C-alpha cells in the first residue's frame, strides 16, 4: 500500500508516529507488568497458561479471563508497534 504525503508533511507525520510509538511502548510495559503479576501469582508462564486456558483446563475464573485479555492485548500492541516502527523506518 503506497500513500503519497507532501515532502514538507513527512517530518510532522513521522514525529506523530514516533509519539505514538512511545505511548505504545508505555502501554506495553504496563501490560507486561500485569502479566508478570499473574505469572507469579499462579506460578505459570503465560505460554503454559494460554495452552491450559484455551483447552478449558483452568476453569472460568475472572482472573483467567483478565490474564487472557492482557496476553491478547499485548500481541495486538506488539503488532501495532511493529507497524508504526516500519512506517518510521520507511521515511
Instruction: Give the range of the structural domain holding residue 45, as residue numbers without chain letter.
Output: 30-90
Beta-carbon contacts of residue 61 (< 8 Å; ≥ 6 apart)? none
What pLDDT, on a 0 to 100 scale, did the predictor assign at position 3? 67
User: What is the C-alpha separation between 40 and 49, in angstroms, rounded?
Assistant: 12
| CA separation for the pair 61, 23 (Å, rounded) | 30
Kindly state whether residue 13 falls inside one of the protein's structural domains: no
Residue 3 in domain = no
pLDDT in tens, 35-46: 999 999 999 999
pTM of the predicted model as reported, rounded to 2 decimal places: 0.85
Number of domains in the chain: 1
- Among residues 40, 68, 31, 37, the alpha carbon closest in space to that of 52 is found at 68
Residue-wise pLDDT for 24-33, tens only, equals: 999 999 999 9
Amino acid at each position: 500500500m503506497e500513500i503519497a504525503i507532501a515532502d514538507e508533511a513527512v517530518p510532522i507525520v513521522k514525529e506523530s508516529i514516533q509519539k505514538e510509538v512511545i505511548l505504545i511502548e508505555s502501554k506495553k510495559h504496563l501490560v507486561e507488568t500485569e502479566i508478570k503479576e499473574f505469572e507469579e501469582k499462579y506460578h505459570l508462564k503465560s505460554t503454559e497458561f494460554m495452552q491450559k486456558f484455551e483447552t478449558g483446563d483452568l476453569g472460568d475464573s475472572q482472573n483467567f479471563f483478565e490474564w487472557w485479555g492482557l496476553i491478547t492485548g499485548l500481541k495486538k500492541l506488539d503488532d501495532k508497534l511493529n507497524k508504526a516502527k516500519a512506517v518510521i523506518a520507511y521515511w
